[in-house]
Structure 1
Amino acid sequence: MKLYLDTSTPETILRLDQTEYRLPLGNQLAEQLLSAIHQKLSEHQATWTDLTEITFMAGPGSFTGLRIGAAVVNTLADQLNIPLYKSTGEQVPIILPDYGRPANITPPKK
């Protein structure tokens, strides 16, 4: 089963093979992403080990959303020992998010 994930916007797009889900996870992405994927796998009578490859939309987009999504797909691909792809079709060892611009990091006050 192929997993596609896009966490670049407040509405997460999750695709399992040809079935697409739009999940309004917004600010709850970090807390709910893994359970949402698990729930959708269960609806297909599948488990984590049924995943054969992962594709991730690496950006540009939300800094936090991309960071959370990349951490999840990198971990899953590594632990399940399955191929990982960018949305461009390029196979990569790990996903590096493309934020579209430098991160807006507040400098220290002192």
Structure 2
Amino acid sequence: MIILWNSAGMTVELSLVDEQTGERHDYTWAAERNLARDMLAYLRDRLNEQGASFNSVSGIGVFRGPGSFTGLRIGMTVLNTLASDRGVPIVGAVSEAWASDCLARLACGETDEIVLPEYGRAARITKPRK
């Protein structure tokens, strides 16, 4: 099962692609401010709906941005960790066709090893007062 993930906005987009059948299952989730707390459970539940588990994941494709600083950072941290732990390839893309770009790269055996976000501008981080 291949995970395609986009957490650049307030609504997360997830696609699960079965490599054997080519079937693609698309989901959206209004994660709002609960992404960090609920992301793994959300992924687990969607995989279970397809008769899969984290052990079934064979590749991960991620939308790198631009988008929400926090959403991109949380999503990529979790997915980079999952890819490293499971020993599966992870790739990222930034175009409008990011999902098909990721699938093509995974099909060719590519991996980025670690996917870094592309915010589209400097992050707005509050400077320390002291």
TM-score relative to the length of structure 2: 0.81
Residue 5 of structure 1 aligns to a residue whose secondary structure is: strand
CA distance in 2, matches of 1:3, 1:109: 41
Provide Cα deviations, 1:36-69, integer angstroms capped at 9, x if missing partner. 0000011111110100000000110000000000
Residue 69 of structure 1 aligns to a residue whose secondary structure is: helix
1:109 equivalenced with 2:121 (yes/no):
no
CA distance in 1, matches of 2:126, 2:7: 23
Residue matched to 2:97: none
TM-score relative to the length of structure 1: 0.95
Aligned match of 2:88 in 68, 82, 92?
Answer: 82
Residue matched to 1:9: 9
Provide Cα deviations, 1:72-91, integer angstroms capped at 9, x if missing partner. 11001000000001134353
Residue matched to 2:116: 96
CA distance in 2, matches of 1:32, 1:44: 19
CA distance in 2, matches of 1:53, 1:107: 37
Unaligned segments of structure 1, at least 5 residues: none
RMSD: 1.1
1:54 equivalenced with 2:60 (yes/no):
yes
CA distance in 1, matches of 2:88, 2:128: 40
Aligned partner letter, 2:121: R
Unaligned segments of structure 2, at least 5 residues: 18-23, 94-100, 106-110
